[in-house]
Amino acid sequence: MAKNNYKKQEKIIKEVEKINHDFLKKLDDLRLEHDKKIQEILDKSKMRKIRKSL
């Protein structure tokens, strides 16, 4: 009985670890996408300032 519960717990832990890994990967992808968008906005802003100064 205890061995069976241990196997169930191991299986649940592995599933949770996989979900956690997938979640962190998606979070990292979103962060990279967000950083890229911010950089694009900053680049556009810089270009506007350069144009105004000319």
Tens of pLDDT, residue by residue over 1-54, are: 678 898 999 999 999 999 999 999 999 999 999 999 999 999 998 888 888 887
Predicted TM-score of the model (pTM): 0.65
d(C-alpha 21, C-alpha 28), whole Å: 11
pLDDT at 46: 87
d(C-alpha 50, C-alpha 54), whole Å: 6
Pinpoint the alpha helices (H) of 1-54. Answer: 2-53
Please tell me the total number of residues recorded for the chain in this structure. 54
Q: How far is CA 4 from CA 12, 34, 49, in A?
A: 12, 45, 67
